[in-house]
Structure 1
């Protein structure tokens, strides 16, 4: 008898999960329509919906249209059943966003952490702001279901940092999950590489919304990619898929030490671009850069680069053209290898005001034997946050009946 009861409980949970998944995907529906869609009996659907209404997972929202007889009562998923936090730890501006279960942002904070170098202190800032955001929005900690973080490195499943970009050396051996669990014991903590989250964000909400096979490429301080295959993030056996900054570009690159900046990153990463232009000016090349930097080349940054592009400075335009050629070849090779539908480009390089898309698509069209488009990020600096929402909601919907 216990086995039968167990089976009945499993069937009940499966049916309730089907109802939740359908309402999330299709929106509000009546009990009768749900029974037809799910091919379940009307009494079973009605009983399960009543259970979910008691748990406040579902809501009744009024009457629907009638095709004769009484107007049906519509039910929908309760998108305020709980809340999620997305955290972007990828740069010097920490971003923390509170959202409901429809990925609607309730509050987004940006905090300058450029002078904070120690990982544990940054996590303290994250925790303090999460608590304050909840308080400012009249929410209790028990209403927070998931905190999802994007981090520019490689983390073990346990949460321990195992690989870092060169500028984040003070995160070494820190266990992000353990540190946050000290403050948020009953909240699920999820973390992913930041570029992987950006890829998920673009796939679910942005430029790749209608595509199942795409690569998101970020060109910033570092160069990396997030790979989506069959609508699923591919991370690789070592969680290192997409580390394209280490791509070798010619035979001479065999001399590169894999512990240093990779060959591709040394050509098209923003620090490399700035260094190349500095060297050219130092060797006597004429450019507005020196004037825009006030004669101090140490002040050169992406804002000055953008101004030089706006003024069509020949030296800077020449550097951008080199990047387009290199990037066009790299993207073409990735597209051919993975048979992709789309490539999405993001990162601070895309914010410089240069037209990358036209020339890149021309190069890709010449090399790739089938039609694939290269697009700029639709979510821009919010891609990581929306990727965090994506993995947070995936966890919530799969585990909502276990709470």
Structure 2
């Protein structure tokens, strides 16, 4: 669906002042929740007729919904209006070595549906775009809507739409791969490092958080409140390159391949053994070098960032529930201060959750911009 499909001014002949109030109504409800027309007029310090006209505009465009009645001290309780979060849908997705994971989200970033589809990364760079488009079409088709934005989590460093340092999926470093991907889709495509998106899924207002992901690779995402902290060149948190005492870097230990090697397995043999919240295979003595390397990474993050929390996730990290108390104790004993350690609340979908939130933020910003853009041609006529 193109931007021209939102005919707020074209359909109703609204001028800039009215649409400006519509923007304010949207933002106020987004931040504070539903309210009555009178309450919104009072909070926005606008006249009741002007506020009501703006609300009617948004209702006619299906951008607001009328709810049940609110509270009233006198007379009949007023109806409340709230955002229609499903008026526009978005997609959050993750590109992994073996599969594409997708989620359909609303304007809050809440996921309505999720699915995974097989994808053989590393074989044909030109296939990512068509594969992703097919998966999005299958996900969104039953809703009868074209998504308004896609946020895509990718392994490696992502900066200005270019991917680097992606050893597990080197084809992503070819700009032609992402150019073909964008050409397949008719809506905005936002590219992020996958672990950064996982950090977004766990972020809390006012909190500095580090998300440690251990899966096919190792990486750290950092947020301050709802803001991503990705460094000067987008490389913050690339601790996988940190050299260890034995000549290996951290990612060679803290990854599926590294853990499988410690346990005397192939990576393909390891994954089926990771079922359940706390797999028995992770209790083996051979895990000690892995846990020692993880503790070192946690110490570095604690001393450099002073985070409120360090969340551990990823296909392996999310399974370390039984090891968490020991890691917390060792961190507290080895340092003068230590953050809270916890396992990700989204063990299988943290990246997709965070991606949906970022896509929803873009779709909401585009909606507000459309309200503004549609009004401006009328400004001089009504001045």
What's the TM-score bracket when you normalise by the shorter of the two chains? 0.7 to 0.9
Change (3 A) 1:273 1:311: closer
1:189-228 matches, cutoff 5 A: 189-203=189-203, 209=204, 212-228=207-223
Which residue pairs with 1:121 in the alignment? 127
Which residue pairs with 2:376 in the alignment? none
Which residue pairs with 2:144 in the alignment? 139
Change (3 A) 1:350 1:401: closer
CA contact (8 A) 2:222 2:230 kept: yes
Deviation, structure 1 residue 358? 0.6
Q: Which ranges of structure 2 fall in alignment gaps of 5 or more residues?
A: 1-13, 371-383
Which residue pairs with 1:153 in the alignment? 156
Cα separation, 2, equivalents of 1:108 and 1:397: 21
Which residue pairs with 2:346 in the alignment? 379
The root-mean-square deviation of aligned C-alpha atoms, in Å, is 2.8
Cα separation, 2, equivalents of 1:182 and 1:355: 46
Deviation, structure 1 residue 382? 0.4
Which residue pairs with 2:95 in the alignment? 89
Alignment: residue pair count:
356
Q: Deviations over 1:228-275 (max 9, x none)?
A: 12431011121111101112345x75xxxxxxxx61112322212222
Q: Does 1:100 align with 2:101?
A: no
Cα separation, 2, equivalents of 1:310 and 1:76: 44
Change (3 A) 1:177 1:59: farther
Which residue pairs with 1:206 in the alignment? none
Deviation, structure 1 residue 361? 0.4
Cα separation, 2, equivalents of 1:226 and 1:172: 20
Which residue pairs with 2:175 in the alignment? 174
Which residue pairs with 1:183 in the alignment? 184
Partner-residue secondary structure (3-state), 2:216? coil
Cα separation, 1, equivalents of 2:81 and 2:229: 36
Cα separation, 2, equivalents of 1:14 and 1:249: 57
CA contact (8 A) 1:147 1:189 kept: yes
Which residue pairs with 1:285 in the alignment? none
Deviation, structure 1 residue 374? 0.5
Cα separation, 1, equivalents of 2:86 and 2:305: 39
